[in-house]
Amino acid sequence: MCGIGGIMRVTPAGEAAAAALAVPPREAIPEHWLDVIDESIRHRGPDGQGRFRDRVVRADGSVVDVALVHRRLSIIDHAGGAQPMVSVLGTSPPRGAPVRSPARGAMPPLLFHGKPNAPVVYHELRGTGILPVGSASGTGVPPVGSSGSTGILPVHSPGHGQDAHAADLLAVVFNGCIYNHRELRRELLAAGHEFATDHSDTEVLLHGWREWGESLFERLDGMFALAIWDRAAASLALARDSFGEKPLYFARGHDQSVRDLSLTFSSSATALARMAMHPAVPAQHQRVTDGLHEWIRFGFAASPPSGYFRGLIASGVLIEDSEGSRISRHGPVFRGATPPARTNILDAATAEEALGDAVRARCEADVPLGCFLSGGIDSSLVALLARRALGNLRTFCVRMPRGVDDESAIAAEVASIIGTDHTTLDCRADPAADLQRLIAQLGLPFGDSSLLPSHWVSAAARQHAAVALAGDGGDEMFLGYERYRAAGMLARHRRLLAMMEPLLRSAQGAHRRSTIARAARISAAARGLGYTDLVSIFPSSDLRRLVPAAINLGVHDDRWVGADRAVLWDLQCYLPDDLMRKADTASMAVALEVRSPFLSNDIAAMCLSASLDSLMPRGRRKGLLRQVARKHFPARIVDRPKQGFAIPIGEWFRSDYGGMRQLLMDHLESAEPWGPPRLGIELNMKFVRQMVDEHMNQRRDHSQRLYMLLVLSIWAKWMGTLGG
């Protein structure tokens, strides 16, 4: 688990290329831009840092400069897993060589590995073999007396003496974990590959790229965001896992300002936001209104609200090479607009076996590993199967702050049944301060309030473990949300439900979890945009009031009506853009790696092909998974109502718990609640004040809407401070 980033710059052939070769590589891509990336990912990797630089001239005469940045959280193979990891072979690239060695401006690749606070000191990289760290032995242990930056020495075959410009070189920076890396390693060994590390999953990526090229990503079962520089092809490949567990953002530019950098990428939106707000960036690119209404509506979106940069889609692959740029998808999970055929009948024994395999694959770590345990069936089953796989297991539950549903007693009972070493941790919550810090760290107006308790759980668990297993994805794979039944009602009775909407408007002031309030939301969704309105913070009718600019939200979209289509929307949008972004932000803020067995490729393929009736027998949400759980836990645990991980944010706004009311009013009543005018955010303040008044006087519950507006204001004001 780490943070990655980098820059690729292409200078066209001709006089521009000649001028580029006269510029030292460290000036072609200024070191201070790498510092911006590095600073934004520092919290993700407290165990080490590294950078890599290279320059090649393509056959067409264009000059390509590339720089990679890495921060390491060391989980697997402490000795051999340092990054950027570089592989250098001989002079004959296996896939041809569209790269020529420049007559001037020649530069051996540069590599730096060091301790977290070591100064960046590059060393020339020559020789052949895998260079996971700067030591001739390949052990990854810095030389005695080293201050943290290590000299790069030839490895394996120092007598070759070939020019590094002529070498077939790969370099990778990688964030995440490849759970089937040992199986892939065995396959690659059988194909003749030689490994320098003992069990590094990062090295598997290098050998896998040499053997399979882009089809490598189809073979990976894991969570990952990575970049592979292929010197022989003068190409950079970015890739992200099937469900977006790991973030990756990128920006392109071609003008003569700072955006002359052709491709910039990072694990952190913060890095690219800082670049977007640079004074040299044209004003039109500093506006943050692109897709902003989607963020306000749902609290999340696939890409940041910026014309400057965007997020790489889940399961996405971006290739930048001499042919241009292209984005494709990988992985076994269905990605079309039509749901896959659900024809298989899934039974409890098959489901338990598949989940057991996924849990075992996610138990490998060279650091202490534990498991979140909330008392719900998802985390309870993961803990049970991990206990079986490991023999001993530490589980954690956090006693939540005032007003939050506390499941610690149930979790302790589950732990006793399973036989784990269980710890109930006290939460150290400072909602107002934590929220502002997390939004600035994330660099996005993320509107899911469960980010706060997720972060508190992660912070408490990090005191005892560096890796934690979690139950994320269980609801999406095994149909655990009540709204899937509502989606079925929308498909069958849309017209009738729409007719009921005027009669249910009076329920707007009811508690949001009450039966009448739920009925009102379903009828309003039937009258509006269907399932997407049902899951919106600001349904279409409210969004049109809030955003004065005309928004074309379209008509009722039948693609998202029905339980199977609702599940598809959640897998393509809600899971990667909300749940996984939340989990990554909450955990990596304290450098904790969280693994989700329910998101294995095998479980996804199994569940997406299973009939709805087999997943929800007799229409009961998560019915099949409950059958599995019933074999191991008593009914009082299996049949408990779903509590979720929500905080009573609306009550906190009214009571000022943790300073939340004061924070809300300070932002919404300020002179520029949506940041400086150059950002371009314009909202209907009359409607905003109406919502505040209705909520504080308990006439209507606007809990999540006010939270979204608060987050938007925190983010916009933070954006306004960037760029100087």
Task: Write the DSSP assignment of 679-701 as a string of letters.
Answer: G-----HHHHHHHHHHHHTTSS-
CA 500 to chain CA centroid, nearest Å: 40
| Rounded distance between C-alpha atoms, residue 622 and residue 376, angstroms | 12
Task: Please write the tens of the pLDDT for every residue from 609-635.
Answer: 999 999 999 889 899 999 999 999 999
**Residues with Cβ < 8 Å from 508, sequence gap 6 or more?**
517, 520, 700, 701
Q: What is the DSSP letter of 171?
A: E
pLDDT attached to residue 167: 64
> Residue type for 456, please?
W
Give the end-to-end CA distance of the chain in Å, rounded to a whole number: 32
pLDDT beneath 50, residues of the chain: 92-94, 96-97, 102-105, 132-164, 254-260, 555
| Rounded distance between C-alpha atoms, residue 242 and residue 495, angstroms | 36
How does DSSP assign 343-407, residue by residue?
-B---HHHHHHHHHHHHHHTT--SS-EEEE--SSHHHHHHHHHHHHHHS--EEEEEE--TTSPP-
Q: 599 phi and psi, to 5 degrees?
A: -100, 20
pLDDT attached to residue 535: 93
Superfamily of domain 2-329, CATH level 4: Aminohydrolase, N-terminal nucleophile (Ntn) domain (3.60.20.10)
Instruction: Report whether 683 contacts 668 (CB < 8 A).
Output: no
| Rounded distance between C-alpha atoms, residue 581 and residue 221, angstroms | 19
Question: In whole angstroms, how far apart are CA 78 and each of 197, 200, 652?
Answer: 10, 9, 44
Task: Please write the tens of the pLDDT for every residue from 237-292.
Answer: 999 999 999 999 999 874 444 334 589 999 999 999 998 887 777 776 778 888 89
Question: In whole angstroms, how far apart are CA 429 and each of 39, 387, 423?
Answer: 25, 30, 18
Order of strands across the sheet that contains 394-399: 421-426, 394-399, 369-372, 467-469, 593-595
Residue 291 neighbours by CB distance under 10 Å: 16
Instruction: Report whether 465 contacts 1 (CB < 8 A).
Output: no
Unique residue bearing structure tokens 């202490």:
368
| Rounded distance between C-alpha atoms, residue 262 and residue 257, angstroms | 11
| Rounded distance between C-alpha atoms, residue 642 and residue 640, angstroms | 6
**Angle 623-630/377-390 helices, nearest 10 degrees?**
50
Collapsing DSSP to helix, strand or coil, 170 comes out as strand
Instruction: Report whether 253 contacts 207 (CB < 8 A).
Output: no
Nearest to 248 by CA among 162, 332, 176, 346: 176
**Residues with Cβ < 8 Å from 567, sequence gap 6 or more?**
339, 476, 479, 484
Instruction: Report whether 439 contacts 421 (CB < 8 A).
Output: no
pLDDT attached to residue 515: 73
Instruction: Report whether 507 contacts 519 (CB < 8 A).
Output: yes
**Angle 31-41/269-276 helices, nearest 10 degrees?**
140
Helix (H) or strand (E) holding 34: helix 31-41
pLDDT attached to residue 644: 60
| Rounded distance between C-alpha atoms, residue 272 and residue 264, angstroms | 8
